[in-house]
Structure 1
Amino acid sequence: MTKYDYTKWIKEWTRDLGFDHCGIAKAGRLDEDARRLESWLHQGMHGSMHYMENHFDLRIDPCKLVPGAKSVITLLLNYFPGREALKDAAEEGAPRIAKYAYGDDYHEVIRRKLNLLLKQMRDGIGEIEGRGFVDSAPVLERTWAVRSGLGWIGKNGNLLHKQAGSFFFIATLIVDLELEYDVPFAGDYCGSCRKCIDACPTDAISDDKVVNGSQCISYFTIELKDLLIPDAMKGKFQDWLFGCDTCQDVCPWNRFSKPATEMAFSPIPAILHFRTAEWEELTEESFKEIFRHSPLKRARYAGIRRNLHFITPGPPPASS
């Protein structure tokens, strides 16, 4: 068997596991990204996300994550809920949830798929050392996606795929197996468009493709653990209760988005049908039950209450 055969098998296996796109790049140190990341951190654009400062060497060198690494396999999994689901969730003034959080926690879903893929590779090819990652580890997954030929980085910092837009999760599998490598994506099809820059409610996106994470609504509603959100952000959240999709919603490339086929990402009914009153009446016990498999549990009940208070006019909602 040759590396061509192995590559063909792996791409077939990823399709069987439900991944929408697969690209493969040669493992190597990311020196240019190291300089950009260092500058971004020095400017404090990570806010209180101090974990971004950790394991810097691991982020820029896959061989430090998997000794002897030869290939970085990048996988895309669509999570777009579909136009009908969005209509159900679009009542004026209802708290809004980022689309990636409509269904089950993607970390759990994708980790299972990566473990199955690695097992298939070991069963079909032989002993392979490898590790899979889903955005919670020190891996620059968007860079590897570009190097794998899957798309380009848009002005909003998201990976854009010409046929799929940006509503997908990125997973990475680093292995010590040499494979056939895809041609890196060389184009940038954002052109003069600046819809995402102009639409960002908190001006977190700059003209030079740098996103100030510490000014993003997703940062304030998910990552920030303080009891209070800064008053300077008052009136800018556009009813976003958890995360924000504004820069993706206005992106012309997302007109190509199609409904996800992964059943685990089917919207939780509460996401589509809860209005402000239901969120206000939600008890901690009910929150833990309804959202036990949801990304919303990352913000915890207290965080959701804080966010609801911040975007809802009038006095704070009554505590449970």
Structure 2
Amino acid sequence: MLRSRVHEAAHEVGFALCGVARPDPSDHLEHYRAWLAAGYHGDMAYLARPDAVARRGDPARTLAEVRAIVVVGDLYDQPDPPGVPDDPSRGVIARYARGRDYHRVMRTKLRRLAERIERAAGGEGLAGVARAYVDTGPVLERELARRAGLGWFGRNTMLIHPRAGSYFFLGVLFTTVEIEPDAPFEADHCGTCRRCVDACPTGALLDRDPEGAPVLDATRCISYLTIEQRGPIPQELRPALGNRVFGCDICQEVCPWNVRFSRPAEEPAYRARGPGELPQGVEVEGGRPGGARPTKDSGAASPPHPGTDFPGLVELLETALDPGRWDAFTRGSPIRRAGRVGLARSACVALGNELARVRTPRSEALAVLRRAAHDSDPVVAEAAGWALKRAGGRSEG
């Protein structure tokens, strides 16, 4: 059976999960449209483009002769060092963003999978074409994954696999080859559990709608605020961010299915980088990462880069204030999505939250915030000024 060979091929190229879905029109599209109408997508206007919404609703609009959709999952969880996430002087980066950009890693694997499917189909006298997507095209990946038997929608809106939890990336392969589908996942194993809803510090999770679909107000979600939000973070939400500077895993960390079943990433590329370790392909030339020229504030040589596994907030903000260092630090990393301004802004907010908790602020924290208060971008300067006020007005000097 071709489906079993597809499953085998997916595991051979390194995917932990695989399922095959029918290319039927979406039965989740009305929930998606209602979510957009409520404005829960915030400034992510690309999600509401009419052509993209229509393509999300019908796979045939993406690939006219599509006969099957292969959905794969790549594990990315990694354990946190004991006690470190609670250290207010260190920033928290979401697990998925601590290693290399998953889009690149998964696209390479999906190309290899497509080649194997073509060979297997050719052996059965079939021929076809394939189109791959990794969180970038007009595709409702989680719905397709549920239809491919990979799990159910949790109250945190994540897809939860009964033996792997929710820490996995999704990739899809539209193919014109006829492949027998897997059985859809129909059960909802969340039951009455509301741990994710209750744990969200900003109240972004709105539980389920009357028809059972989970609802997220992205404009209150820490991941949206630190990654997609391009302007200032609303002041009333800033204290709730704590030391989170890029993304948030709280609703996944408290999920019993992750506590019990989540497995560490099998892909080495998703491993967090240590201090001074640059992304793959980035070299240091003349003391500057990637040959970047020194800025007027940076000096002739660059200090070591912070790691992606709970970086020091002072070091992270220093990096974000220097365009050359920021470029090298984020090259080939999902963190680049936030932009230099977004990362610097979030680091300022996190430092402000740290300073509000301590009796004696660190002099180096105050110093870097004073520098940030004079940043050329008003979003960064405003966030730094707010952080200094959180320190009790210690902005003089």
Both proteins in one fold, TM over 0.5:
yes
Residue 114 of structure 1 is aligned with which of 110, 114, 130?
Answer: 110
Residue 233 of structure 2 is aligned with which of 218, 224, 229?
Answer: 229
1:39 aligns with 2:44: no
Cα–Cα, structure 1 residues 163 and 287, in superposed 2: closer, same or farther, change >3 Å? same
1:145 aligns with 2:135: no
* Greater Cα radius of gyration, structure 1 or 2: 2
Residue 302 of structure 1 is aligned with which of 329, 341, 353?
Answer: 341
Contact 1:104–1:264 at 8 Å: present in 2 too?
yes
Structure 1 Cα separation of the partners of residues 81 and 11 of structure 2: 27
Aligned residue pair count: 312
- Which amino acid is 1:318 matched to? R
* Structure 2 gap ranges (5+): 209-213, 275-306, 356-365, 376-397
Cα–Cα, structure 1 residues 22 and 72, in superposed 2: closer, same or farther, change >3 Å? same
1:257 is displaced (CA, Å) by: 1.2
1:273 is displaced (CA, Å) by: 5.4
Give the equivalent residue in structure 1 for 2:371.
Answer: 318
Contact 1:155–1:196 at 8 Å: present in 2 too?
yes
Provide Cα deviations, 1:286-319, integer angstroms capped at 9, x if missing partner. 2221221110011122211011112222663524
Structure 1 Cα separation of the partners of residues 244 and 309 of structure 2: 14
Give the equivalent residue in structure 2 for 1:123.
Answer: 119
Structure 2 Cα separation of the partners of residues 273 and 170 of structure 1: 25
Residue 244 of structure 1 is aligned with which of 245, 248, 256?
Answer: 248
Contact 1:88–1:272 at 8 Å: present in 2 too?
no
Contact 2:85–2:310 at 8 Å: present in 1 too?
no
1:216 aligns with 2:221: yes
Residue 308 of structure 2 is aligned with which of 271, 278, 282?
Answer: 271
1:155 aligns with 2:155: yes
Residue 10 of structure 1 is aligned with which of 6, 26, 30?
Answer: 6
Q: Which has the higher contact order (CA 8 A, sep 6+)?
A: 1
Contact 1:80–1:167 at 8 Å: present in 2 too?
yes
TM-score (norm 1): 0.93
1:207 is displaced (CA, Å) by: 2.2
Contact 2:92–2:309 at 8 Å: present in 1 too?
no
Structure 1 Cα separation of the partners of residues 83 and 128 of structure 2: 46
Cα–Cα, structure 1 residues 89 and 168, in superposed 2: closer, same or farther, change >3 Å? farther
Give the equivalent residue in structure 1 for 2:74.
Answer: 77
- Which amino acid is 1:182 matched to? D
Structure 1 Cα separation of the partners of residues 269 and 92 of structure 2: 20
Correspondence 1:184-195 to 2 at 5 A: 184-195=184-195
1:277 is displaced (CA, Å) by: 2.1
**SS at 1:164 equivalent:** coil
* Structure 1 gap ranges (5+): none
Contact 1:201–1:238 at 8 Å: present in 2 too?
no
- Which amino acid is 1:38 matched to? R
Q: % of aligned pairs identical?
A: 35
Contact 1:280–1:318 at 8 Å: present in 2 too?
no
**SS at 2:149 equivalent:** coil
- Which amino acid is 1:29 matched to? P
Structure 1 Cα separation of the partners of residues 71 and 251 of structure 2: 23
Structure 2 Cα separation of the partners of residues 47 and 9 of structure 1: 42
Contact 1:89–1:271 at 8 Å: present in 2 too?
no
Residue 254 of structure 1 is aligned with which of 255, 258, 274?
Answer: 258
Following superposition, which runs of at least 4 residues in structure 1 exceed 6 angstroms of deviation? none
Provide Cα deviations, 1:206-234, integer angstroms capped at 9, x if missing partner. 121211112101111111111x1111212
Give the equivalent residue in structure 1 for 2:169.
Answer: 169
Structure 2 Cα separation of the partners of residues 302 and 104 of structure 1: 21
1:291 aligns with 2:330: yes
1:53 aligns with 2:106: no
Cα–Cα, structure 1 residues 112 and 23, in superposed 2: closer, same or farther, change >3 Å? same
Residue 98 of structure 2 is aligned with which of 94, 99, 102?
Answer: 102
Structure 1 Cα separation of the partners of residues 113 and 253 of structure 2: 32
Cα-Cα RMSD:
1.5
Cα–Cα, structure 1 residues 53 and 91, in superposed 2: closer, same or farther, change >3 Å? same
1:138 is displaced (CA, Å) by: 0.7
Structure 1 Cα separation of the partners of residues 14 and 224 of structure 2: 30
TM-score (norm 2): 0.76
**SS at 2:70 equivalent:** strand
Provide Cα deviations, 1:165-214, integer angstroms capped at 9, x if missing partner. 00000111111111121111111111111000000011010121211112
